[in-house]
Amino acid sequence: MLLVFGVLVLAIFVFKKPDARMPALKERHGDLAAGGEWLNTKEAVRGLLAKLRRNPDDYKSRLLLAQAYMQEGRVTGDHAYYDAAAMKLLDAVLRAEPENFEAMACKATLCLTQHHFSQGLALAQQAQQLNPNSGFVYGLLTDAHVELGQYDEAIKMADKMNQVRPDLSAYARVSYLREIYGDVPGAIEAMTMAVKAGLSGMEQTEWTRVALGHLYEISGDLARAEGCYETSLLVRPGYAYALAGRGRVAAARQNYPAAIKDLQQARAMVKDYAFSDELVDLYRQSGQSGKANAMAKESIEMLANAAKQADEDEELGHYADRELAYAYLKTNELDRALEHAKIEYARRPDNIDVNETLAWVYFKRGQYAEAQKYMQVARRTHSQNPVLLGRAGLILTKLGKVAEGQALLEKSLRTAPYLNPELAAEGKALIAAR
């Protein structure tokens, strides 16, 4: 009888407590833990876990818990932890309910977050078949087509999204596509609409306000960019991406101590490679080469670990080869930079940003004809991004097309030379030598 009782208890423990091995909600710290949002998140997750303990087949609660973990990954930047937890939950839902639209759309979102763009597109297309009237799924399709360089299709999906449900997310995608096609004033207009459509202080709204600030940065309007970042920090104190934006404004004004302080704070709060990458540049600009080299090596290690995980897991793990290509350029490891740029290019050869990366790697290697081949693809949407224009100008100048190249360099320097000081210095030197 004791043996039978023990077996029954073990069975109950194994089969009726599905979350025993579920990754728990991690504590937030500092400004991330301030305010009612964190308390509401903890209470919601606690309630969902309790429901699942009572009823392991409550797939609605599994889905809601997955969504909560996905949002927590976005807020904290800890995607490796929370995306894995969310994927586990979503796969369980889809095994039981293969045509669950919400679970499929969420899984597509995770794939896009992890840069598994082809897989994300396939899942979003399946979700669209299940629910062709969802604005959310058209947003996913827009994102996937953009990342794969299928811009005509992206425009169609963004238009459809705005027809179905014009909101913050829909306006933001219109803004991004306008920027890609060189209409920066139109992009600012659409992103302003996106900010106004959101609830001030919410993470999604402040992400959008920071994106608006970035558009002002690339258009040369530092005062308005700074206004966006300061407003975001006022309504969402300590918001990492607004701190980073404010740091970039400080760096543009050559206030390197303030810039470094903001980037360090952002990096301490949220796990995002971009903050480490920007710190490398700031340390070099401020004459701290030792710190710059150490941070560059740390960045490579962080990205290499992510890339290794992605190679080992077809569903989960952040593809980071484009970022690795730039990271290796900063340590002058040109062969490694080319290796990773080619890996990313093999995944999405039509994306303009990937082509720009490969072009810049070839430029750094002195292979200017190869660089121009990819730069032509990178410029096919007529983007007016000052860094892209400056790089294109340098490549053309090296190929002997001096007038065309220097016209692009002058436009880049006239608009926003602070975006890439190394590029600006090289461009100024070529113009001066004319």
What is the predicted pLDDT for the residue at 346? 97
Is a pLDDT exceeding 80 seen at residue 1? no
What is the predicted pLDDT for the residue at 22? 67
CA distances from 67 to 72, 87, 185, 403 (A): 9, 10, 34, 53
What is the predicted pLDDT for the residue at 23? 73
Query: Where does the pLDDT of residue 313 fall: very low under 50, low under 70, confident under 90, or very high at 90 and above?
Result: low
CA distances from 253 to 259, 270, 283 (A): 9, 25, 15
Residue 151 contacts by C-beta under 8 Å, 6 or more apart in sequence? 145, 177, 180, 181, 381
Cα–Cα distance, 353 to 350 (Å, whole number): 9
For residues 135-141, average pLDDT: 98
CA distances from 212 to 113, 207, 243 (A): 21, 9, 14
Query: Where does the pLDDT of residue 382 fall: very low under 50, low under 70, confident under 90, or very high at 90 and above?
Result: very high
For residues 306-327, average pLDDT: 79
Q: Which residue has the higher pLDDT, 177 or 272?
A: 177
- CATH architecture for residues 166-272: Alpha Horseshoe (1.25)
For residues 135-149, average pLDDT: 98
Is a pLDDT exceeding 60 seen at residue 135? yes
Is a pLDDT exceeding 70 seen at residue 234? yes
Cα–Cα distance, 222 to 386 (Å, whole number): 14
For residues 59-67, average pLDDT: 96
Query: Where does the pLDDT of residue 302 fall: very low under 50, low under 70, confident under 90, or very high at 90 and above?
Result: confident
Is a pLDDT exceeding 70 seen at residue 5? no
Share of the chain above pLDDT 70, in %: 93
- Most confident of the following: 9-23, 272-286, 307-321: 272-286
Classify the phi-psi angles of 182: left when phi > 0, otherwise alpha if psi is within -120 to 50, otherwise beta.
left
Of 28, 25, 35, 73, nearest to 236 (Cα)? 35
Lowest pLDDT segment from 76-85, 169-178, 398-407: 76-85
For residues 179-190, average pLDDT: 98
Q: Which residue has the higher pLDDT, 31 or 369?
A: 369
Is a pLDDT exceeding 90 seen at residue 14? no
Query: Where does the pLDDT of residue 159 fall: very low under 50, low under 70, confident under 90, or very high at 90 and above?
Result: very high
Residues 56/18, Cβ–Cβ less than 8 Å: yes
CA distances from 336 to 284, 290, 292, 301, 326 (A): 21, 22, 19, 13, 10
What is the predicted pLDDT for the residue at 30? 84
Is a pLDDT exceeding 90 seen at residue 348? yes
Largest CA distance in the chain: 95
φ, ψ at 199 (rounded to 5°): -90, 120
Domain regions of the chain by residue span: 166-272
Q: Residue 95: how many CA atoms within 13 Å on its side-chain side?
A: 8
What is the predicted pLDDT for the residue at 315? 63
For residues 157-177, average pLDDT: 97
Is a pLDDT exceeding 80 seen at residue 3? no
Is a pLDDT exceeding 50 seen at residue 13? no
DSSP 3-state of 142: helix
Query: Where does the pLDDT of residue 314 fall: very low under 50, low under 70, confident under 90, or very high at 90 and above?
Result: low
What is the predicted pLDDT for the residue at 24? 85
What is the predicted pLDDT for the residue at 308? 73
Lowest pLDDT segment from 47-61, 174-188, 267-281, 297-311: 297-311
What's the chain's average pLDDT? 92
What is the predicted pLDDT for the residue at 32? 87
Q: Which residue has the higher pLDDT, 16 or 172?
A: 172
What would the two tokens of residue 299 be?
A: 């960045």
Is a pLDDT exceeding 80 seen at residue 349? yes
What is the predicted pLDDT for the residue at 307? 73
Is a pLDDT exceeding 70 seen at residue 137? yes
